[in-house]
Amino acid sequence: MKKFIYLCIASCFSTLVVAQEVVQNSFGNGFYNVIAADSSYSMKLAARMQSLYIADWDVNDSEGIHNGGSQFLIRRARLKFGGFVFNPKVTYKLELGLSNKDLGKVDDRNNNAPKMILDAVVKWNFYKNFTLWAGQTKLPGNRERVVSSANLQLVDRSLLNKNFNIDRDMGLQLRHHFTIGKNFIVKESLAISQGEGRNVVQDNLGGYQWTGRVEVLPFGKFKGDYSGGALRREESPKLAIGATYDFNNAVKDKSNQGSYMLIDDGASYFQTTVNSIFVDAMFKFHGFSLMAEFANRDSEFPFALNSDDSATGDVVQVGNGLNLMSGYLFNNNIELTGRYTTVALDKTITGKDLQTQYTLGVSKYFKGHKLKVQSDISYLTVENNGTSGLMCRMQLDVHF
């Protein structure tokens, strides 16, 4: 038996050695890219991972600084597939998350299964500048969320995004753009989605979610309006301004995100209308970049009630947030970035105090966003709390 096992191992090893092949590719452009002989489809396979170290400390007015904890973890680990089917006007994207952070919370609304699928969407450019998207992908929400986690300017997104973003959902999106004159570009997006976030397999629990977004680019197309930092070093000033309105008949306390608002001992769900507004801008010129975002969420009935009108204790997380981020990329591809974020949830409803966070980061780009090391330090204050937080992070990104 041992001889048989050794023979199998040797056979597999020799097969792998023989199968080695030099591919006509380069780092950062995916593992594999194939086009069918009859040009009926294409597929590109890529992977990426983020290795993160994080440490935090509590800062107390009376006790000073004391350690809050530290850890190493794989923040993200993903496989990405993309290409076209039938003709180049019908494209697709499939992205799978493999890390624990990617898989998300398991509950009975997704059959107690990990949320492995991030994106599974088909895009059909059916007429001129009109493109129809079908499947699960990011909604046209705040700019920082739509920027891929592979292309962030700091280690991770801001507190504004954590509290207000509308993330991914399943449904349909219609995208269009047109140009006024030579350079003035207008982009429009309209989405209708299920309203409970990604990978929900039960029947629609609340009502449907409607999202509309308009963007203007007065100085023409960017090389990187949805990419963090000024890596493309725009030769002339570029500006993008966007606004999003989102309406959801929601059963979660953060529109399609957050926790379900259960009523009558979990027998059903409290449903209420939730409105979200985002206004954002991105400016880049040479090595300088500036991004600004404002978010607001409100609800007609923010307090969840049981069928007998008694309070459940759940509330919609209504309020607003502001996020400002600016950076400069030096000629040696080292970038310094600063970020200021405030989150002001309505204390009379949520019971939460104003949060303010200051972040200073440094990044070294070896191959753009495909290979980089990033580090940042953040100081968080909570109004009327007397306790602050200090956090330090370092992350390595590798994107094949």
Give the residues of the chain that fall short of pLDDT 50: 1-2, 4-6, 8-9, 12-19
Kindly write down the DSSP assignment for every residue of 192-236, as one continuous string. EE-SS-TT--SSP-S--EEEEEEEEETT---S-TTSSSSTT-EEE
Cβ-based neighbour number of residue 183 at 10 Å: 12
Domains and CATH numbers, the chain: 31-399 (2.40.160.10)
The pLDDT of residue 31: 82
Beta bridge partners of 389: 58, 380
Q: Encoding tokens for residue 372?
A: 């980089």
The DSSP bridge partners found for residue 223 are none
What pLDDT, on a 0 to 100 scale, did the predictor assign at position 13? 44
Cα separation, 279 vs 163, in Å, equals 15
What is the spatial distance between Cα 319 and Cα 331, in angstroms, rounded to a whole number?
A: 41
Question: Any idea what the Cα angle at residue 370 is, between residues 77 and 282, rounded to 5°?
Answer: 100
**Residue 21: its pLDDT value, please?**
61
Please give the pLDDT value at position 206.
Answer: 84
Cα separations in angstroms, 312 against 213, 263, 306:
34, 6, 6
User: What pLDDT score does 207 carry?
Assistant: 87
Residues constituting the chain: 400
Check residue 398 and give left, alpha or beta (phi > 0: left; psi -120 to 50: alpha).
beta
Residue-level pLDDT at 60: 76
- This prediction has a pTM of 0.91
| Predicted local distance difference test score (pLDDT) of residue 43 | 95
In angstroms, the Cα distances linking 188 to 106, 112, 132, 144, 239 are: 34, 36, 12, 18, 16
User: Which residues are bridge partners to 242 per DSSP?
Assistant: 215, 280
Tally of CB atoms within 10 A around 315? 21
Q: Could you report the per-residue pLDDT of 235-252, keeping only the tens digit for each?
A: 999 999 999 999 999 999
Secondary structure (3-state) at 352: coil
- Residue 17 pLDDT: 45
The kind and range of the H/E element at 350 are: helix 347-350
How confident is the model at residue 144, as a pLDDT? Answer: 97
Name residues whose C-beta falls within 8 Å of residue 304's C-beta, 6 or more positions apart in sequence.
253, 261, 263, 270, 272, 311, 312, 313, 314, 315, 316
